[in-house]
Amino acid sequence: MPTSKDVAQAAGVAQSTVSYVLSGKRPISEKTRKKVEAAIEQLTYQPNAGARALASRKTRVIGLVIPFIPELEMGSIMEFVSVIASTARQFDHDILLVTDDEGAAGLRRVVGQQICDGLILMQVEDEDERLPVARSLHVPVVLIGIPRDPSGLVCIDADFEMAGEHCVRDLAAAGHSVISVIDWQPAVMDRHVNYVDRFLHGTDVAAKALGVTVLHLPGGTDRATISESVDKALASTTGNPAFIVPDRTIQDILRRDLSGRGLTLGLDVSVIGSASPTLAELQPIPLSTIDLRPAEVSRRAVKIMCQLLESDSQGPHESLELVPTVITHRSSTLRPQ
């Protein structure tokens, strides 16, 4: 395997110059930098990660703490993971997956053993046991999600309150005076993740402002629960019913229940759900969706992390960023009146 010494000889520069080009720690002239980069490409040189870590005391690895929870739709989790990994590579970092079953002890372990430079935490609960540890660590920690008390923490998430408002405003504009929200399944509701409360609060705020009625109905992965919720919605609705279904695992059950009642999406009933554009288009009737922009949230989380690592600040760090959400109209909702 070629070494940095080989690259230096091929480029006609000192070995330290190659190191400075790779690390960016000292300014190098454009002419010299291009000579070094050409030699690197010619020799297909890859810096030794272990040697770089020893020299810089940085692993260039970001720990990603992800939940493996049966009730969560893993496809949505993997949307975050894939974008986080690819964005990290753009910043010359790798990702270490840390399963959530270790809890707070897992955070101490990976940081204490110096196998990553910072941590990104997903699925943050209102009163998350990991947060006191996250505040005490001497490495950057970025949360995808917002706890009840975000002080002393760096948080980024989709603006779920805006998402709830957008859904109600969109359906009200289509002429619906009663809008039914099918809640997340009980296992998600019981975990008290903050995005649920923010979304539901957004629906209530918009309903009050517009003078429409919002019904909050139980969700679940069994047909009986969804059927009962639809019964309640139809009994309370005059005119065309409307549903907001933010939990992806419930959407197909609801669609089948409505179809079994002879209700056609986009003609007799409106449904707004949450799905990737590809999956939304593949539905029998393309699904109108509230886009929570997981790719943008993931990219921003990595960029914030890399900025913190680049600044080499010991912290504590504190910020809160909300990514705006948008509705994409397809065939499952009635047109605005």
- pLDDT for 225-268, tens place per residue? 999 999 999 999 999 999 999 998 899 999 999 999 999 999 99
153: containing domain: 61-158+295-324
- Number of folded domains in the chain? 3
H-state helical runs in the chain: 4-11, 15-23, 30-43, 49-56, 74-90, 103-112, 131-136, 160-173, 186-190, 194-210, 223-235, 248-260, 277-282, 294-311
- For 82-105, the pLDDT digits (tens) are 999 999 999 889 998 887 666 677
Q: Cα–Cα distance between 81 and 149 in angstroms, integer?
A: 25
> What is the pTM assigned to this prediction?
0.80
The answer to whether residues 151 and 300 belong to one domain is yes
Does residue 287 lie within any of the structural domains? yes
pLDDT of 48 above 60: no
Does residue 331 lie within any of the structural domains? no
Q: Cα–Cα distance between 113 and 106 in angstroms, integer?
A: 11
pLDDT of 331 above 70: yes
| Average pLDDT of the chain to the nearest whole number | 87
| C-beta atoms surrounding 248 within 10 Å | 18
| C-beta atoms surrounding 27 within 10 Å | 7
Give the pair of three-digit tokens for residue 149: 């008390």
| pLDDT tier at 282, thresholds 50, 70, 90 | very high
Written in H, E and C, the secondary structure of 3-49 is: CHHHHHHHHCCCHHHHHHHHHCCCCCCHHHHHHHHHHHHHHCCCCCH
pLDDT of 137 above 50: yes
Contacts of 176 by beta carbon, 8 Å cutoff, 6+ apart: 212, 239, 240, 241, 242, 270, 334
The answer to whether residues 187 and 140 belong to one domain is no
Q: Cα–Cα distance between 100 and 83 in angstroms, integer?
A: 19
CATH number of the domain where residue 31 is located: 1.10.260.40
The answer to whether residues 146 and 265 belong to one domain is no
Q: Which of 199-208, 285-294, 312-321, 327-336 has the lowest mean pLDDT?
A: 312-321
Contacts of 314 by beta carbon, 8 Å cutoff, 6+ apart: 138
Please report, as a single letter, which amino acid is at residue 199.
Answer: F
Q: Are 244 and 203 in contact, with CB atoms under 8 Å apart?
A: yes
The answer to whether residues 277 and 315 belong to one domain is no
The answer to whether residues 168 and 279 belong to one domain is yes
Question: What pLDDT does 288 receive?
Answer: 97
Does residue 134 lie within any of the structural domains? yes
The answer to whether residues 211 and 242 belong to one domain is yes
Report strand pairing: 288-291 vs 326-328.
antiparallel
Does residue 53 lie within any of the structural domains? no
The answer to whether residues 29 and 144 belong to one domain is no
The answer to whether residues 217 and 206 belong to one domain is yes
The answer to whether residues 219 and 307 belong to one domain is no
pLDDT of 50 above 50: no
Find tokens 């680049």 and name the residue: 310
